[in-house]
C-alpha cells in the first residue's frame, strides 16, 4: 500500500515537471542532483543547449522546485547562476499545484452549472440563454436552430477528476 502511494506521487511529480518544464526539465529533475550546480556546467555535461537548460530551470523555479543564487565566478569574474533542485519540497509543491488544479476545476463546474448554454448544431457559436433569446434561438451565422447544451456529462467528468485529486491530496 505504501509503495503504491509512493509510485503514484512519483508519477504525479513527473507529470507536473513535464508539464511546466518540458522534457529538459524532466531530465534535470530525474538526475537527482545533490547540491549546487551551474547551468553551463550542466549544459556541458548533458550536451543540451544552455538556453534550454535555463528555460527548464526557471520553469522549475517558478513552481518552487528549484532555487538559485547569483555569484561572481572567481576565475572568470562573470556572474553565474548557482542552482539547486528542491527535492525536499517536491511533495509540498505537488500538493499546492494539485490544490490549484482542483480549484480551477471547481470554478469550471461552477461556470458550467450556473449558466445555461445554447449551441449551434453546426458548431458556429456557444451562447448564454439570454443571448440565445436575443437571437430568437437561431444561429446568427448559419441560421440553424440553436440546441440546448446539456453539459451534465462534462460536469460529471470534471467532478470525478476533482474527487480523484482530493483523494490524492489526502494520501500525500
**Contact positions vs Zn ion (CB under 5 A):** 120, 122, 124, 139, 141-142, 144
Closest CB 118 distance from Zn ion, rounded Å: 11
Least distance in angstroms from the C-beta of 132 to Zn ion: 12
Q: Which is nearer to Zn ion, 122 or 128 (CB)?
A: 122
Q: Which residues have a Cβ under 8 Å from the Cβ of 66 and sit 6 or more positions away?
A: 57, 60, 83, 84, 85, 86
Cβ closer to Zn ion: 80 or 147? 147
CB of 139 to Zn ion, least distance (A): 3
C-beta of 42 vs 127, nearer to Zn ion: 127
Give residues with Cβ within 8 angstroms of 10, minimum separation 6: none
Burial, 78: exposed, middle or buried (Cβ in 10 Å; 0-12, 13-18, 19+)? Answer: exposed
Nearest-approach distance from CB 152 to Zn ion, in angstroms: 23
CB nearer Zn ion, residue 63 or residue 139? 139
* Angle between helix 90-114 and helix 152-171 axes, rounded to 10 deg: 160
Rounded alpha-carbon distances, angstroms, from residue 127 to 49, 110, 121, 134: 47, 17, 12, 10
3 state SS of 98: helix
Amino acid at each position: 500500500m505504501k509503495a503504491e502511494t509512493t509510485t503514484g506521487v512519483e508519477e504525479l511529480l513527473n507529470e507536473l515537471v513535464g508539464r511546466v518544464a518540458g522534457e529538459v526539465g524532466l531530465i534535470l529533475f530525474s538526475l537527482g542532483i545533490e547540491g549546487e550546480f551551474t547551468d553551463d556546467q550542466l549544459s556541458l555535461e548533458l550536451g543540451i543547449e544552455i538556453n534550454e537548460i535555463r528555460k527548464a530551470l526557471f520553469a522549475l523555479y517558478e513552481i518552487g522546485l528549484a532555487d538559485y543564487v547569483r555569484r561572481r565566478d572567481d576565475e572568470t569574474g562573470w556572474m553565474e547562476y548557482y542552482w539547486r533542485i528542491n527535492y525536499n519540497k517536491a511533495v509540498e509543491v505537488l500538493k499546492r499545484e494539485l490544490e490549484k488544479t482542483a480549484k480551477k476545476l471547481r470554478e469550471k463546474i461552477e461556470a458550467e452549472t450556473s449558466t445555461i448554454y445554447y449551441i449551434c448544431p453546426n458548431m458556429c457559436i456557444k451562447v448564454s440563454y439570454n443571448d440565445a433569446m436575443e437571437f430568437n434561438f437561431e444561429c446568427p451565422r448559419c441560421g440553424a436552430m440553436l440546441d440546448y447544451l446539456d453539459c451534465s456529462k462534462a460536469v460529471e467528468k470534471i467532478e470525478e477528476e476533482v474527487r480523484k485529486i482530493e483523494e490524492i491530496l489526502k494520501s500525500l
